[in-house]
Amino acid sequence: MKCPRCESKFVNVMVKSPVGDVWEVYLCDTCKFTWRSTEGENITDPEQYDKRFKLNPEEFEKLGHIPPIPPLTKNK
């Protein structure tokens, strides 16, 4: 299985439905996208996931920090 959003192969089952065996939720270790097995193919299928919302993991480092990490104070 591949992540529908960034197409990483590092995906895992995060959780199974607490009641009955009716769905699973998957987590992408690379881009932290989560999706449920019962969602539509617009969400679950990497081919059909909207191109405007695809992510390229190589660009993550360039993303801004909210909020910024402050410098460590020395005397503490």
Partner 1 sequence: MAYRDLREFLELLETEKQLVRIKDEVMPEPDLSAIGRSAPNMDSAPAVFVENIKGYQNPVVLNVHGSWQNHALMLNMPKDTPVKDQFFRLKELWDKYPIKPVFVNKKDAPVKEVIIENDINLFDVLPLFRINEFDAGFYLSKALIVSRDPNRPDSYDEQNCGTYRIQVKGKDTVAIQPLPFHDAAIHLRNAEEKNERLPIAICLGNDPVLSFMASTPIAYVQSEYDFAGALKGAPIELTKAENSNLDIPARSEIILEGYIEPRVREIEGPFGEFPGSYSGARLQPIVKITKITHRKNPIFENLYLGMPWTEIDYLMALNTSIPLYDQIKRDFPEVEAVNAMYTHGIGAIVSTKSRFGGYGKAVAMRLLSTPHGMSYTKIVIIVDEFVDPFNLEQVMWALTTRVRPDKDVFRVPYAPGMPLDPSSEPAGMHTKLVIDATTPVAPDFGRECELLGTPIGVEKWSEILRDLRKEGGNK
Query: Can you give the binding site for partner 1, defined by CB under 8 A?
Result: 5, 14-15, 17-20, 22-23, 25, 27, 31-36, 38-40, 42-43, 50, 52-53, 55, 60, 63-73, 76
Calpha distance 62→76 (Å, rounded): 31
Residue 47 partner contact from Zn ion, partner 1, none using kind-dependent CB cut-offs of 5 to 8 Å: none
Shortest separation between residue 21's beta carbon and Zn ion, angstroms: 25
Nearer to partner 1, 9 or 38 (CB): 38
DSSP string, 15-53: EE-SSSS--EEEEETTT--EEETTS-HHHH-TTTS-GGG
Which residues 6+ apart lie within 8 Å of 56 measured at CB? Answer: 6
Q: Which does 51 bind (CB under 5 to 8 A by kind): Zn ion, partner 1, none?
A: none
| Cβ-contact 46, 2 below 8 angstroms | yes
Which of partner 1, Zn ion, none does residue 8 bind to, with CB < 5 to 8 Å depending on kind? Zn ion
